[in-house]
Structure 1
Amino acid sequence: MIEENKAATDRYRCTICNYIYNPAEGDMENNIKPGTPFDQLPDDWVCPICGASKDAFEKI
Protein backbone atom coordinates (compact mmCIF):
# COMPACT_ATOMS: atom_id res chain seq x y z
CA MET A 1 0.00 0.00 0.00
CA ILE A 2 2.86 2.41 0.74
CA GLU A 3 4.35 1.86 -2.74
CA GLU A 4 0.94 2.51 -4.32
CA ASN A 5 0.58 5.79 -2.41
CA LYS A 6 4.14 6.77 -3.37
CA ALA A 7 3.37 6.21 -7.06
CA ALA A 8 0.44 8.60 -6.74
CA THR A 9 2.80 11.36 -5.58
CA ASP A 10 5.86 10.74 -7.81
CA ARG A 11 6.45 13.67 -10.14
CA TYR A 12 8.00 13.34 -13.59
CA ARG A 13 9.92 15.92 -15.64
CA CYS A 14 9.93 16.22 -19.41
CA THR A 15 13.58 16.08 -20.49
CA ILE A 16 12.76 18.19 -23.56
CA CYS A 17 11.02 21.25 -22.06
CA ASN A 18 11.21 20.65 -18.27
CA TYR A 19 7.41 20.46 -17.81
CA ILE A 20 6.62 18.74 -14.50
CA TYR A 21 3.77 16.22 -14.41
CA ASN A 22 2.37 16.36 -10.89
CA PRO A 23 -0.19 13.60 -10.18
CA ALA A 24 -1.85 15.76 -7.52
CA GLU A 25 -2.77 18.23 -10.28
CA GLY A 26 -3.28 15.85 -13.21
CA ASP A 27 -3.56 17.38 -16.68
CA MET A 28 -7.05 18.84 -16.92
CA GLU A 29 -6.51 20.15 -20.46
CA ASN A 30 -6.15 16.52 -21.57
CA ASN A 31 -8.85 15.08 -19.27
CA ILE A 32 -6.36 13.57 -16.81
CA LYS A 33 -7.92 13.82 -13.37
CA PRO A 34 -5.97 14.87 -10.27
CA GLY A 35 -4.63 11.82 -8.45
CA THR A 36 -3.65 9.97 -11.65
CA PRO A 37 -0.15 8.47 -11.25
CA PHE A 38 2.23 8.87 -14.19
CA ASP A 39 2.27 5.12 -14.84
CA GLN A 40 -1.51 5.16 -15.29
CA LEU A 41 -1.51 7.86 -17.96
CA PRO A 42 -2.74 6.62 -21.35
CA ASP A 43 0.01 5.29 -23.63
CA ASP A 44 -0.76 8.06 -26.14
CA TRP A 45 -0.50 10.87 -23.57
CA VAL A 46 2.09 13.49 -24.52
CA CYS A 47 3.65 16.47 -22.80
CA PRO A 48 1.08 19.29 -22.93
CA ILE A 49 3.85 21.83 -23.57
CA CYS A 50 6.10 20.29 -26.24
CA GLY A 51 4.28 17.11 -27.32
CA ALA A 52 7.02 14.71 -26.20
CA SER A 53 5.98 11.12 -25.48
CA LYS A 54 5.99 9.56 -22.01
CA ASP A 55 9.40 8.04 -22.84
CA ALA A 56 10.91 11.54 -22.63
CA PHE A 57 9.99 11.89 -18.93
CA GLU A 58 12.13 11.05 -15.93
CA LYS A 59 11.09 10.63 -12.31
CA ILE A 60 12.20 13.45 -10.03
Structure 2
Amino acid sequence: MSKYKCPGCGYTYDEREGNRKEGYPPNTLWSALPKDWICPDCAVREKADFIEVFEKS
Protein backbone atom coordinates (compact mmCIF):
# COMPACT_ATOMS: atom_id res chain seq x y z
CA MET A 1 0.00 0.00 0.00
CA SER A 2 1.22 3.48 -0.85
CA LYS A 3 0.82 7.07 0.31
CA TYR A 4 0.42 10.17 -1.87
CA LYS A 5 1.06 13.73 -0.68
CA CYS A 6 -0.45 17.00 -1.91
CA PRO A 7 2.39 19.42 -2.73
CA GLY A 8 0.11 22.37 -1.99
CA CYS A 9 -1.04 21.72 1.57
CA GLY A 10 0.69 18.53 2.68
CA TYR A 11 -2.45 16.35 2.91
CA THR A 12 -1.47 12.68 2.58
CA TYR A 13 -3.75 10.02 1.13
CA ASP A 14 -2.85 6.65 2.65
CA GLU A 15 -4.27 3.67 0.75
CA ARG A 16 -4.39 1.67 4.00
CA GLU A 17 -6.59 4.28 5.67
CA GLY A 18 -8.61 5.49 2.69
CA ASN A 19 -10.75 8.54 3.42
CA ARG A 20 -14.13 7.60 4.89
CA LYS A 21 -15.27 11.24 4.96
CA GLU A 22 -14.88 11.35 1.17
CA GLY A 23 -16.42 7.88 0.73
CA TYR A 24 -13.25 5.82 0.27
CA PRO A 25 -12.93 2.94 2.77
CA PRO A 26 -9.59 1.57 4.01
CA ASN A 27 -7.56 -0.27 1.37
CA THR A 28 -8.89 1.90 -1.48
CA LEU A 29 -6.04 2.05 -3.98
CA TRP A 30 -4.89 5.36 -5.44
CA SER A 31 -5.68 3.99 -8.90
CA ALA A 32 -9.31 3.45 -7.82
CA LEU A 33 -9.85 7.17 -7.10
CA PRO A 34 -11.51 9.05 -9.97
CA LYS A 35 -9.21 10.92 -12.37
CA ASP A 36 -10.93 14.20 -11.46
CA TRP A 37 -10.37 13.66 -7.71
CA ILE A 38 -8.98 16.72 -5.91
CA CYS A 39 -7.35 17.23 -2.53
CA PRO A 40 -10.04 17.15 0.18
CA ASP A 41 -8.13 19.68 2.31
CA CYS A 42 -7.17 22.44 -0.12
CA ALA A 43 -9.35 21.50 -3.15
CA VAL A 44 -6.74 23.01 -5.41
CA ARG A 45 -4.47 20.21 -6.52
CA GLU A 46 -5.56 17.54 -8.97
CA LYS A 47 -4.79 13.86 -8.51
CA ALA A 48 -1.98 14.12 -11.07
CA ASP A 49 -0.21 16.71 -8.89
CA PHE A 50 0.18 14.37 -5.91
CA ILE A 51 3.59 12.89 -5.15
CA GLU A 52 4.04 9.27 -4.06
CA VAL A 53 5.65 9.09 -0.62
CA PHE A 54 8.24 6.38 -0.08
CA GLU A 55 8.90 5.33 3.50
CA LYS A 56 12.41 4.40 4.55
CA SER A 57 12.65 0.84 5.83
**Which interval holds the TM-score relative to the shorter structure?**
0.7 to 0.9
* CA deviation after TM superposition for structure 1 residue 44, in Å: 2.2
Q: Aligned-pair RMSD on alpha carbons?
A: 0.9
In the superposition, the TM-score normalised over structure 2's length comes to: 0.81
Number of residue pairs aligned between Structure 1 and Structure 2: 52
Deviations along 1:13-60, one digit per CA (max 9) or x if unpaired, are 001111110011111111011101111111222111011210110101
For 1:36, the equivalent position in structure 2 comes to 28
For 1:58, the equivalent position in structure 2 comes to 51
Q: Percent identity?
A: 35
Matches of 2:34 and 2:8, distance apart in 1: 19
Unaligned segments of structure 2, at least 5 residues:
none
Q: Secondary structure in 2 aligned to 1:16?
A: coil
Instruction: State the AA in 2 paired with 1:59.
Output: E
Structure 1 residue runs of 4+, over 4 Å off? none
In the superposition, the TM-score normalised over structure 1's length comes to: 0.77
Unaligned segments of structure 1, at least 5 residues:
1-8
